[in-house]
Amino acid sequence: MISITEIKDFFKGKIALNERLAQYTTFRIGGEADYYIEPADAEDLLNMIKYLNKRGVPFYILGNGSNLLISDEGMRGVVINLETGFGYLKHDDGYILAGAGAKMARFVDFCIQNNFSGVEMLAGIPATIGGALYMNAGAYGGEIAAYVAEVQVIRNEQIKFLSKEQCGFAYRTSKLKDSIILQGKFILPEGNPAELSRIRKEITLKRNEVQPVEIPNAGCIFKNPKDNYAAKLIEECGLKGTSIGGAMISPKHANFIVNFDKASAGDVIELIKMVRTNVKCKTGILLELEVQLLGFEENILK
């Protein structure tokens, strides 16, 4: 484990013990982390990573927790939140620099204010830039990867710059899994702020209509299978509105599970298993998880 006295010698950020993680997720589910830290800057984070590696302490990078299901037992080791030290947005000669902890809503606003187009269709995705890059978040035909010039990461205890190609972006995934994302550099086409604001508003209204945004959830639970839609398959199996404990397949959008009444992570896992079994049985398709699991045994879905 780690020694608070040793850390205080070099760590400038915030640290908390036995921090409840549910409050950092949009699902509002999850037990405690042994340690929770918010590093002050890249040097602070790098020093901490070197310390944790030396001690063999596991760590996990948290974004906005909008694509996460955390177990009721929480997570052993350290959970790292980059919101405080990496929440910056900067505009320079023809590009935008966004810190990994900056929220998508602010990023979209900032791009529009600076006459840059392209990311307005991502409005309403409750991500941080780090989480959006890691997952290659996308909506309404667009993906964040389209505008990435380079990504700054910590990899193998070194700060590195990765080209877009090195990031290996694909549908709701990337090759950034062994990296801590620090910031993204984006090059975007010019646009008209009034028109972009109109599109952003239209997309937000559309989302509110089709997604259960008023009840805690973690976005789409499953990836869309090739040439098909997970929501359509789940709906066709008659599963909309099915509940286990406090978790329910949203009657509004079948690929969302909502935490309608103090659901445990166990309730959600049971619902996921039930959906996968039903859909596989009726269509032959095994749905692949989009939501990331944290603190569970590897074979939890078996």
Instruction: Please give the residue ranges that form the binding site for ligand FAD (CB under 6 A).
Output: 26, 60-68, 82, 100, 125-128, 130-132, 134-135, 137-139, 172, 180-181, 211, 213, 217-219, 292
226 exposed, middle or buried (CB, 10 Å; 0-12, 13-18, 19+)? Answer: exposed
> In the complex, what is the shortest distance from the CB of residue 95 to ligand FAD, in angstroms, rounded to a whole number?
19
Q: Which CB, 179 or 242, lies closer to ligand FAD?
A: 179
Residue 128: CB minimum distance to ligand FAD, A: 4
Taking the least distance from each CB to ligand FAD, the nearer of 182 and 196 is: 182
Q: How far is the CB of 278 from ligand FAD (least distance, A)?
A: 23
CB of 291: closest distance to ligand FAD in angstroms?
A: 8
Rounded Cα gap, residues 92 and 188, in angstroms: 12
Minimum distance, C-beta of residue 51 to ligand FAD, in the bound complex (Å)? 18
CA-wise closest residue to 61 among 181, 196, 211, 187 = 181
Distance of closest approach, residue 210 Cβ to ligand FAD, in angstroms? 10
CB atoms within 10 A of CB 257: 32
Nearer to ligand FAD, 2 or 291 (CB): 291
In angstroms, give the least distance from the CB of 154 to ligand FAD.
Answer: 9
Nearer to ligand FAD, 135 or 287 (CB): 135
Q: Which is nearer to ligand FAD, 127 or 287 (CB)?
A: 127
- Please say which residue, 9 or 298, places its beta carbon nearer to ligand FAD: 298
| Nearer to ligand FAD among residue 117 and residue 211 (C-beta) | 211
Q: Where are the beta strands (DSSP E) in the chain?
A: 14-20, 32-38, 59-62, 68-70, 75-81, 89-92, 95-99, 138-139, 142-143, 148-155, 158-163, 180-186, 217-220, 243-244, 247-249, 256-259, 292-294
CA dist., res. 32 & res. 71, Å (int): 9
Long-range CB pairs of 281-289 (<8 Å, 24+ gap) are 282/236, 282/237, 283/233, 283/236, 283/237, 285/225, 285/228, 285/233, 287/222, 287/223, 287/225, 287/230, 287/233, 288/222, 288/223, 288/225, 289/221, 289/222, 289/223
Residue 151 corresponds to which amino acid? V
Beta 158-163 vs 148-155: how paired, if at all? antiparallel
